[in-house]
Amino acid sequence: DTAVSQTPKYLVTQMGNDKSIKCEQNLGHDTMYWYKQDSKKFLKIMFSYNNKELIINETVPNRFSPKSPDKAHLNLHINSLELGDSAVYFCASTLDYQGTYGYTFGSGTRLTVV
Amino acid sequence: GDSVTQMEGPVTLSEEAFLTINCTYTATGYPSLFWYVQYPGEGLQLLLKATKADDKGSNKGFEATYRKETTSFHLEKGSVQVSDSAVYFCALSPRDNYGQNFVFGPGTRLSVLP
């Protein structure tokens, strides 16, 4: 299936732990993103990579570090997890860096920090 | 910067009622406009799009027309079903500027009652 796939779907962890979320797209898209969705469904962009190059890095704590080994993968590593990091994290990709033709989203990773 | 405003929800309708979700935007260029739908527990899916003024996007009985003169892209459906219950996001792609974020509205939750 052609898609954006992210793992894991659910992640429950304790404060202070370090965790990673992986994302892969097989659509041949050039640009990939990480978004955070809060409990009110508001979407906030975190990072964007175009052909493995970081192009958007919003005001996000430096505990969050994206890594793009190739243009089909964009992983998100989070150090020293805090309660406020609990949210749903979505990976997405677009054909071009402006999203002219729309985004394709993964199904999300629900992170719960306890 | 560019922005998207949507009517606040939640919107509650009876099955077969007519749906309108208002969306207006501000943009310096000529953006592409989108509606995304998020069903419970899932990622966002592209519902429809329009890339230039007076274009009408349509899918699954939903439609929206790109109105440049009123900077609007209202979502409509003639007869909603219980299965349409979801959160709907209006969004724009600012095509003119490198590095500009794709902009999402805050989302409107729709509940359709049998």
Nearest to A108 among B34, B43, B109 (CB): B43
Nearest to A41 among B32, B49, B107 (CB): B107
- Residue A52 has a pLDDT of 80
Inter-chain contact A102–B100, Cβ cutoff 8 Å?
A: no
- Residue B56 has a pLDDT of 97
A76, two tokens: 């998100």
Q: What SS3 state is found at B83?
A: helix
Q: Is the pLDDT of residue B1 over 70?
A: yes
Q: Is the pLDDT of residue B107 over 80?
A: yes
Asked if A99 and B93 touch (Cβ cutoff 8 Å), the reply is yes
Q: How far apart are CA B38 and CA B18, in angstroms?
A: 20
> Phi and psi dihedrals of B77, rounded to 5?
-150, 135
User: How many Cβ contacts (< 8 angstroms) between chains A and B?
Assistant: 60
Asked if B25 and B4 touch (Cβ cutoff 8 Å), the reply is yes
Residues 6 or more apart whose CB falls under 8 angstroms from that of B111 comprise B10, B11, B12, B13, B85
Residue range A37-53: average pLDDT?
87
Asked if A24 and A72 touch (Cβ cutoff 8 Å), the reply is yes
